[in-house]
Every structure is written in structure tokens, then in C-alpha cells.
Structure 1
């Protein structure tokens, strides 16, 4: 800036533009209002939902369930039922798949067709009809033309055919190559496999640990059963792609074995006076209902207890209203099962099955794992860099406005005091003049 000319009046310093204090404070207040309204909304949307679970009711069932629904069987039979690891877990619905597997149909003399409908109707349907108060069954049948084995097939010089050691039966079912599809279902699936060895391996036997030949059939625990079918050696050999013409009676023994395996897998008790095949005796059905009811209640109580323990051990796990509702409804169904147990065990089993399904659905609810690995510390670490740069200018502006407000308030107070003093001095001067006059 050029200096003022000599003799010219001094220039006044430039004045800063007038600040509209009222507008500035309204702007700062608006930003803070948005922030104060947004933070509770953000906190609400990011806060983990944890509905309370009825722990007292679950604890009561955990401690007293065996008293409320006792198992009325002999202790030895009860222990044998509990120790049989082959029995599949109780479910109101099962899917049964019967498959005909040829080791190698290209070598000829294969079984390419079977009258599965007639065989199931004669040997399996009567048992399923007896079990209708407990379970609903869906049945499928399949035929495969090539099912290679992964276990060693041993030969003997002095005997025709081959054998498989009993120790190798756990790897007999070749899940990788046999394509044992279970279909689109969430129900437990039981696979029953009729395995036809190739012509060079017939008859195929199962050799026990002691060296004796045993029945060519075995059970895969909780999954199904396998029967090795060796066609009659007197049957004429058929070329590849031509099925052995076998009557249904040739497969009768195999389906009787399937029926026995199904009984074992479903935990059907054996009684001296009860038939070993076909429909169940009333005493068998009643004992099976009570046994399955006992298992369903025990599994439900264990699942509910595990849900409570999981919610305690993982404080960052979400517990939604849906999970809370399923747990409460499962407990209500258990109460109904206990109420109807003495008058109708079958109805009690229906309530227990629903409780079991609800408890399992609650325990495996996918929403419970949504924020399992996102605790509050991670939340602060993620959002602090976002809100920090915004909060600092707002805080500085707020402090500045508070300081200006306090300074202005002090100035106004001093002005009022000065005006008050002037008024007092004026009144005193007036009084003195009055006295002089």
C-alpha cells in the first residue's frame, strides 16, 4: 500500500465485513442438531439385538425332564437302546433310497432291472405302515450300472468267487464314485444298497475277523444298509447290456435283510412274542413311541441348554425376536408333551418332535452369527475415523460460539452496571441541586 500523501488526512484502517452473528449461530446449531439426532439413530442401528431367553424354564426342564417324561422300560433294555450307535436320530420325516448297484455291467451277467415296486410293497410297506404314528416316509429307487469298489477284493485258489474282509466294510461304500445323491431334502436320508458283484467276483462273501464267512450284508450306522447279492450260479450268462432275467423271488431274501436293517436303524425293539418281520406288534409300537419320545425330549432339552450357554459365552452374538420366539414355543411344546404323556404317548411324541425341530432351528439360526466377530471395539475402530474429522470442527465452532456468547454477556452486564451507576450519579446530582435551591 502506498503511503498517504503529505498533508492528506490519515487513512482509516480497512473494516472487516460485518458478521451476522445470529446466522452464524443458527448454522452451528443446525449442524449440532443434525449430529445429536443422528448419533442416537446410528447407535440404535448398530447396537446388537439381544433378546432375553427364558433361562429359568430351560434350567427347570434340564433338571427335571426325566421325571416329567419317564421311560417305562426295563433298565437293561434301556441301556441297550441308548448304547446302540446304529440307530438314526429321531425325525418325523425320513427319506428312504433303495439303489441297485452293479459293480461292472459291461462285463455281462448284470442285473439291470428289478421289480422294486412289488418288492417294496411286499417286504417294506407293512413295516412303514406300522410306523406311521411316528414317522412319514418318502421312497426313491435308483439303478446304477457301474459301481467300482475301493476296498481290496481277495481271491482264494480252492474256492470260486472272492471275499471282502469285515475290517474293510467301513470303506466298502464308495461315496466318491457311486453318486449316492440324497436329493433336495432336509430330512434324514437312509440309503439301502443292493450290490451286485461283477461275474468274475461272484460269489462275493464277507470274511469275519475269525476267518468265517458271515451273512453278506451289513449296516452303516445312522446311514443305511448294504446287501451283497450274488445271482444264482445256474442262471445263464447274459452278454453286456442284457439284463439277467431274474424273478422277484430271487431278491426276496435281500429285501428281508433290508427290512431287518431298517428296523435296527429306526430302533424298533425286539420282543419275544413280536414278529421279526412285517407289521409291528402293539407292544413294540408302544415301547418304540415311548423310547423315541424320551430321545426327542432329551435332544430338545440339550439343544436349548446349549443355546443358553452359547449366548452366555459369546456376548456379541445376536439373539433376535425370532430366536426368542422359537425357544419359547419349544418350551411350550415340551409342556404340552408332559401334559399329554400319560393319556396319549403318540400325541406327546408329536409335541416333542415339534419342540425338537424348533430348538434345532433356533440353535442354527443364521442371524446368531451375523455379528459374532464384530465386537464394540471393532465398531469404534471403524467409525472413529469417519466421525472424528466431522466432530472436531463442530466442537471448535461450538467452543468459539460459547466463548463469544460469554464475552458478549459479560460486556452487556458491564454496560448495564455502568448505566446503573450513571443513573445513580444523576439522581444524587439532582438531590444536591434540590438542596441548594
Structure 2
């Protein structure tokens, strides 16, 4: 009897010890898998994202871009000046884009002694310090036109010029309100919008001479570029930096239909190049021009010297009207560049047609460089082509552009950079909200944050009458926004979205989780058995 009563006790203790070890092992396994493994997996597969001011960036459009401008007015009669200022203030009082401050300049003994408008303009500009973007109207009674725009920050006006004409000039030429509206408008019907100026460009000046043996054209193009193009670009480098180089290209023929036209010249003919064929012409020569060696966009300035068997060559429109202006045939194709046809002199081609020895000649530097500078005005979108009745613009007599024209370009470009940078950041934030597995590293986050801060600073500078500072800040904001939007790191995990992450890791973890779940079932059974044992 004793043997039978003592034998069942030992197995029960053994079972209890085994249950303890089994429970301990199961709990340790669960803690390692769920407490350490799952958080570690979740941490290592989480996409890294820097905190961004997303809400603030999306609300950038709620604060409009407004620019402060100071306009000074000088009249010989103070009463007329007060009246003009009162009417102009009324015209600009409710403007959403401009905050214009009108200032009356008082007459002094020196100004009354000025006998020419140029002397009066020089005196007033010296006595009244202007900031970048300011403007001044100077009354001169004997003026033929209602308004005469000078090359400085000033315009001469006649004594009978009304305030609405001054306001019209401010909107159309000085402030260029219609173009600012195009930049700020979200309505596609406002017309095509040009791209924001890039921070750097390559300017490539090419001279094409298809028949160098027959056309002995001589031209020190490198010296011409250093004398004309480089100084001019240095004056407009406030928005973009320019790298200039020149080159000669030989045996580059244009591929376009050319028609012979009889005329009264000594040669008895010239050749017509149809305006509709110009795009094909550019396509045919573009492949022969060496491309930019950097990733900067290129501006091509081409001077084509036609051989005498197709010279002189002139451009005609669809109505068979010759488009030669000032004895020059040229055209531009934004943003690619400009094209100039430099026809050889008549006596050179007369000698060539008479089978005489080819005559060497020099290409006119002045004529071609003046045309090239005019093309750069238009390609860089600096020139103001809008014509107004009763308004005349003084011709440019110096290399640099008109001061008011360039500062209007600065103002317009600053607003364009702010608008473009804001749109870029908002698009990026919306994209990041939609695609959660895009990585935002520290460098991209810094670019976005810095761009946002520069946008706010540029807006404040425009409103505080600091156009030069606003231009620098707006350009910096634009560059940072582009760098953040097109950074290659944003694409690092686009090929590995959350769906693929779960599809790959679930088959890996599922076999491990099966014993974990079985262990939970075993724990439940052991605990229930112990509870029943205690109750019994």
C-alpha cells in the first residue's frame, strides 16, 4: 500500500517543474519576438522623415505678394504736383499688388536755373537719393511728347500731361502690372507663362562659315565678345550668372528651301528664306553646334555667313514681305537663342561670281554685336516692347540696359521666383502627404525649410521697399526649392512601398509567429489546469 501511495507524487512534482521551465521558455520567447523583434523590425523599416513646416508652407498662398515702390514727382508749380499726387494716390489706393508711395519734390534755385531737361534730370537725381526700383517724373514744359522715358530711373513729362497718362505709364512700362498678373494668376487663359530664370547660363557665340575657302571672312569674335557681350552680361548678373565662350564652325550648311529673287542690285538677284522655314533651319544647325559642357541651360547666339552662291540672303514672311530691318536679317527663338545672317559685301560676291580670286573681308563687329545685344534683351526678357501713344523711349547709348527697364526685370523676376518657389514647395508637401514612403533626409529637409524662410523674407523685403534684398532672397528660395524637389534621395524607396514591405516580411515572420501563438495556447492550458488544481 505504501508503494502504491508514494509513486504518484513524484511524477506530479516532475510535471510541475517541467511546466515551470516550459512557461519560462515560452514567456522569454514571446518577450524576445514581440517585445524586441517586432519593435526592431518596425523601427528599421520606418521611412526617415525630417520635420517640415507643412502647414505653414501650404498656407503660403494666403499671404499675397505685395511690392512697395516710391514715385517722386517734380513740377514747376507746387499746386499741380499736389493735384497729380492726390489723383495718383486715388488710382493706386485699392491695388492688391502695389503699395505706391508718391513723393513731391520741391523746386529750388538750382532747379529753376536748369536750362535743359538733361541738366534738370541730372540735378534732381543727384539731390534726391533713389533706392533700387524707385522712379521719378520731371516736368519740362517744352517737351514734344507727353512723356519721355530716359535711360535712368526717370521720365520727363509735359505740363499738360494728365495723371491717368502717368498711371498708365507706371502700370504698362515701369511696374509692368500686366506681366505680374500673368505670373500670379492661376487662370490658364491669362496666356503662356515663361519659366523662371535659372541661376546660371552658358552663352555660346558661334560663327558659321560653310565655305571658308570661297568666303574669306575675318573676325576676331573672341575680342568682340569680351568688348560687348561680357560687359553687358556683367551689368545684368543680379539674377543669373553667365559663362560666355565663342567658336568658329566651318562646313555647316543650313537645310532650308531658298528661292532666288530678281532685283536691281549689281548682282541682279538675292535669295529668300521663308519665315516658316526658320524652325527647320535651327534644327539643322543645332546638331552641329557643340552643346554646353555643363548642366546649365545654354543660350546660343549664331552669326551665319552665307556663301556667295546663295548671298545676299534675306528673310521673308508668308506675304512675301522682306523682314530686313536696318540692313540686318535676324530672328530669335526663345529660349534656344538668336540667329543673325551676316551677308558678305556686294563686291566680294561680285568677284566670286566672276571667277576671280576670293577677296578677304572683315565682318562688321559693331553691326552684329548691336543686334546680338538686342537679342539678349529679348531672350532674357529684359526689354519692354509695349508701345504707348504719346510716350517715347530714349535710345540706348551705352552698353548696359536702361536702369528702369532692368530694375523692372529685377522686380518681376523676384516675384516670379517667389511664386515658383511657393508652388514647388506646396506641390512637394502634397506629394509627401500622398506617398508616405518617400524619404526626407536632413539635406532635403534643410533645403525645404531654408526655401520657406527665404520666401517669407523676400516677401517682407518687397513690402519694405528693399528690392535688391528681395531679389537675392527670392533667387535663393527658388534654388533651394528646386534642389529639394529634384533631390535624388526622394526616389530612394519609391520602388519599395508599404505594400511590398508587408508582402516581403509577412512570409518571413509568419512561420515564427505560429509557435508564438501555439505557446499562448499552451500557457492558457497550463494556467487553466493550475486554476482547477487549486480549486480542487
Which TM-score tier does this pair reach, normalised by the shorter chain?
A: 0.7 to 0.9
- CA 1:237–1:315: 2 relative to 1, 3 Å: same
**Is the partner of 2:518 in helix, strand or coil?**
helix
Cα distance change on mapping 1:100 and 1:31 into 2, 3 Å: farther
TM-score for the superposition, normalised by structure 2: 0.64
In structure 2, distance between residues paired with 1:188 and 1:84: 24
Moved more, 252-261 or 333-342: 333-342
Larger Cα-atom Rg:
1
Deviation at 1:145, TM superposition (A): 1.8
Shift of 1:30: 4.4
2:200 aligned residue: 93
Mapping 1:16-415, distance limit 5 Å: 24-36=22-34, 37-51=36-50, 53-67=52-66, 70=97, 74-77=170-173, 78=176, 79=178, 89-103=196-210, 105=212, 108-109=214-215, 111=217, 114-156=219-261, 160-174=269-283, 177-185=287-295, 187-215=296-324, 216-235=329-348, 245-247=360-362, 250-270=364-384, 272-273=393-394, 275=396, 278-341=399-462, 342-372=464-494, 374-407=496-529, 409-410=530-531, 413=534
Question: Does the 8 A contact of 1:86 with 1:220 survive in 2?
Answer: no
Q: Select between 86-95 and 37-46 the one with higher mean Cα deviation.
A: 86-95
- Following superposition, the deviation at residue 356 of structure 1 comes to 0.8
Size of the aligned set, in residue pairs, is 392
Name the CA distance, whole Å, in 2 between partners of 1:243 and 1:412.
122
Greater CA deviation, 52-61 or 134-143?
52-61
* TM, length-normalised to structure 1: 0.77
Confirm or deny: 8 A CA contact 2:199 2:479 kept in the other structure.
Answer: no
Name the structure 2 match of 1:425: none
Cα separation, partners in 2 of 1:151 and 1:89, compared to 1, 3 Å: farther
Task: Report the Cα offset of residue 352 of structure 1.
Answer: 0.7
Q: Offset at 1:330?
A: 1.4
Match of 2:124 in 1: none
Q: 1:84 to 1:161 in 2, by over 3 A?
A: farther
Cα shift readout 1:88-132 (whole Å, capped 9, x = no counterpart): 632343221111223455x73265x63122211332233223213
Q: Give SS of 2:172's match.
A: helix
* Structure 2: distance between partners of 1:295 and 1:286: 14
Tell me the CA shift for residue 237 of structure 1. Answer: 5.3
Secondary structure of the 2:446 match is helix
Partner SS state of residue 65, structure 1: coil
**Uncovered stretches (5+) of structure 2, i.e. residues with no partner:** 1-10, 69-96, 101-168, 183-189, 385-391
> What is the CA–CA distance in structure 1 between the aligned matches of 2:192 and 2:396, rounded to whole Å?
23
Which ranges in structure 1 are unaligned for 5 or more consecutive residues?
1-14, 418-437
* CA distance in structure 1 between the partners assigned to 2:232 and 2:330 by the alignment: 20
> How far apart in 1 are the matches of 2:193 and 2:207?
23
1:249-287 per-residue CA deviation (whole Å, 9 max, x = no partner) reads x24322211110001112223471351661223323322
Tell me the CA shift for residue 24 of structure 1: 4.9
Structure 1 residue 140: Cα displacement: 1.4
Counterpart-to-counterpart distance in 1, 2:20 and 2:262: 110
What is the distance in 2 between the residues matched to 1:218 and 1:244?
Answer: 28
Residue 225 of structure 1 aligns to a residue in which SS? strand
What is the DSSP-based 3-state SS (H/G/I as helix, E as strand, rest coil) of the residue aligned with 1:121?
helix
Instruction: Identify which range, 72-81 or 394-403, moves more after superposition.
Output: 72-81
8 Å CA contact 1:65, 1:297 repeated in 2: no
Change (3 A) 1:363 1:276: farther
Taking a change above 3 Å as real, the CA distance of residues 243 and 29 of structure 1, as seen in their structure-2 partners, is farther
Change (3 A) 1:401 1:223: same
Moved more, 67-76 or 87-96: 67-76
Alpha-carbon distance in structure 2 between the residues aligned to 1:282 and 1:157: 45
| Kept after mapping to 2: 8 A contact 1:87/1:221 | no
What displacement does 1:292 show? 1.8
Bigger mean CA deviation after superposition, 71-80 or 88-97: 71-80
The DSSP-based 3-state class of the residue aligned with 2:246 is strand
- SS of 2:254's equivalent in the other structure is coil
- 1:320 and 1:277 map into 2 onto residues whose CA distance is 49
